[in-house]
Amino acid sequence: MSLDTLLDRDATGIAAAFRAGETSAAEIAEAAIARIAARNPVLNAFTDVTADRARSAAAALDAMRARGDALPPLAAAPFAVKNLFDIAGVVTRAGSRINRDHPPAGSDATLVVRMEAAGALLLGGLNMGEYAYDFTGENAHDGPSRNPHDTTRMTGGSSGGSGGAVAGGLATIALGSDTNGSIRVPSSFCGTFGLKPTYGRLSRGHSFPFVTSLDHVGPLARSVRDLAASYDAMLGPDALDPGCTARAVEPVGQGFEGGIAGLRIARLGGWFARHRMAESDAALDLACAGLGVTAVAELPEAERARGAAFLITMAEAAELHLPRLRGRPADFDPAVRDRLIAGALLPAGWVQTAQRFRRWFAEAAATVFERHDVLLAPATPMSAPPLGTQTVTLDGVELPLRPNIGVYTQPISFIGLPVVAVPLWPAGQRMPLAVQVIVPAWREDLALRVARMLERDGIARAPVAAFGA
Amino acid sequence: MSTPPDPDALIAALLPSTGIPLDPAWRAAVAANLRVAAAIAANLQAFPLPDAVEAAPVFEPGR
């Protein structure tokens, strides 16, 4: 097997090859750097490449192996991070023009430290929508990240470079953030697995915030076992993130192989059955057929939940960016700026109602989970649209595309429930579309079990796109 | 339910207090975003939330 082909394996597979002596970490690092050089001019997934750092880490791993030391679980697996995560010595641009005037980060994000401690090789920072206020993966300053399965199409945002890097074979695992859908949307458009953990489960320490009431971080990957391995590697409390839980860690280990016997799984109706397109219908039907799911559950008031998340996002993000809106409004992406300025004008009562509604909706969801263990819904109404698309027709009505990409993801992250986005490839569709596997708080293990069942049966998969095809 | 506020009236009343310099070319887009937010807020506030429902931001004393 050539080194370049080896990069199409998942992280666990590459770590196994390294552990078995099939190749060195240095060779893997060089192959990954060369592949980024070859493919990134088209995919535009990376904004910063940390080649020297990857080479140094690889040399250390090769020395460990030569000494006969125990090797960490993700040893020599290339990974990368959305460019809102701090990388020491690199400017944390957070997709913006303004923040690139900041000095380079003085330290690494907590999750970067933990992934490296697990042996993964950091390759760099990834393109994203400005300040994470985006569902398209387009960026006014750095250009759009491009979907590896069709480079004329969107990656989805805001972790667009993360989806593009994983589906394009430039990284085995990419870290993203998800406030309203920004891990699940690029997973859907790019055909990768994605894990948005329970709110507070993984540390946001030393990452640039967006809406701290709703911000989550997590991995995108090409296999369920990679989601589980990276999730386990990143678990743990962190004083740097006030929202990070002090709850004891609950590693998934190999628990994702536990099967689905006894799990009460239902598809979501109501709000989640509106706005459908043929591809989201087909993807959900495929998942339900594979899992034998016929039950339908209703998550009441999901439309209001989505609206409440929308208002909290506008108001909190506007307050965060107020100094920049006052001082450098012309340096924002216009689409982001106009929403932020509007957010700065929201009456306080609107936002407080939204925060109180959050509690109500969380309790309503808990009631639904008394009757069901797992809920399924599409991640997006549509598969990846062509770059530059402005409108979409849903239920016969032409609507602005951007906000409507997240109609199914927003109500779920609003109450912090863990979700695995599972990539499906319905027959007759050129592009993938993910289904959300939604479970109760702190039960990531259940979502990974369901995702693994779909992967094991060949229904879900996250292939590396053929480059230049 | 009260009538959703006119976005232009909101901009006129509140923008000066924010200190944000608004280019006239951006005004229509800001108003359009406010119109969407106002409709969402009206729908949200039409829901009969019980008085006992507390807000749910994250704050733990002592951390």
The residues spanned by each domain of chain B are 1-12+22-48
User: What pLDDT is recorded for position A70?
Assistant: 97
Contacts of A246 in chain B (CB under 8 A): 63
| Cβ atoms A325, A340 nearer than 8 A | yes
The pairing of beta strand A265-268 with beta strand A121-126 = unpaired
Edge-first strand listing for the sheet containing A46-49: A46-49, A121-126, A78-82, A173-178, A216-221, A193-196, A419-424, A433-438, A374-378, A265-268, A296-297
* Residue entry with tokens 């303004």: A98
Chain B residue at shortest CA distance from A308: B44
pLDDT for residue B62 = 59
Distances (CA, A) of A197 to A20, A151, A457: 32, 29, 24
B26, A338 Cβ separation under 8 angstroms? yes
Q: Which among B5, B19, B30 has the least Cβ separation from residue A338?
A: B30
Name the nearest CA neighbour of A130 among A161, A165, A87. Answer: A161
> Which residues of chain A neighbour B57 with C-beta distances below 8 Å?
213, 355
User: What would the 3-class secondary structure string for A58-114 be?
Assistant: HHHHHHHHHHCCCCCCCCCCEEEEECCECCCCCCCCCCCCHHHHCCCCCCCCHHHHH
Packing angle of the helix pair A444-456, A278-291 (nearest 10 deg)? 90
Size of interface A-B (CB pairs under 8 A): 116
C-beta of residue A187 within 8 angstroms of C-beta of residue A220: yes
Contacts 24+ apart (CB under 8 A), B14-20: B14/A344, B14/A345, B15/A341, B15/A345, B18/A322, B18/A325, B18/A326, B18/A344, B18/A345, B19/A322, B19/A326, B20/A322, B20/A325, B20/A326, B20/A329, B20/A341, B20/A344
Residue contact A346–B41, C-beta within 8 A: yes
Overall residue count recorded for chain A in this entry:
469
Q: What are phi and psi of A353, to 5 degrees?
A: -60, -40
Residue pair A94/A139 in contact (Cβ under 8 Å)? The answer is: no
pLDDT of residue B59: 62
A413 is catalytic: no
The one-letter code for the residue type at A44 is N
Contacts with A250 (C-beta within 8 Å, 6 or more apart), sequence order: A235, A442, A444, A445
Residue in the structure block whose two tokens are 């640039």 = A208
Distance CA A115, CA A174 (A): 10
A66 residue type, one letter: A
Q: Which of A96, A182, A207, A280 is catalytic?
A: A182
* Alpha-carbon gap, residue A210 to A360, rounded angstroms: 23
**pLDDT at residue B63 above 70?**
no
Instruction: Pick the residue of B2, B11, B47 with the most A CBs within 10 A to test the interface with A by mutation.
Output: B47
Q: Which pLDDT value is given to residue B61?
A: 61
Instruction: Give every CB contact of residue A114 below 8 A, 6+ residues apart in sequence.
Output: A233, A234, A236
Assign a CATH topology to domain A3-456.
Answer: Amidase signature (AS) enzymes (3.90.1300)
Smallest Cα distance from B8 to chain A, Å? 11
**Cα–Cα dist A302/A350, whole Å:** 17
Beta strand pairing call for A193-196 and A121-126: unpaired
Q: What is the pLDDT of residue A199?
A: 97
Choose among B11, B23, B63: nearest Cβ to A345.
Answer: B11
| H or E element in which residue A468 lies | none
Q: Residue A82 catalytic? A: yes
pLDDT by 10s per residue, chain A, length 469: 688 889 999 999 999 999 999 999 999 999 999 999 999 999 999 999 999 999 999 999 999 999 999 999 999 999 999 999 999 999 999 999 999 999 999 999 999 999 999 999 999 999 999 999 999 999 999 999 999 999 999 999 999 999 999 999 999 999 999 999 999 999 999 999 999 999 999 999 999 999 999 999 999 999 999 999 999 999 999 999 999 999 999 999 999 999 999 999 999 999 999 998 999 999 999 999 999 999 999 999 999 999 999 999 999 999 999 999 999 999 999 999 999 999 999 999 999 999 999 999 999 999 999 999 999 999 999 999 999 999 999 989 999 999 999 999 999 999 999 999 999 999 988 999 999 999 999 999 999 999 999 999 999 999 999 987 5
Q: Indicate yes or no: CB of A347 within 8 angstroms of CB of B41.
A: yes
Show the tokens assigned to A28: 């893997």
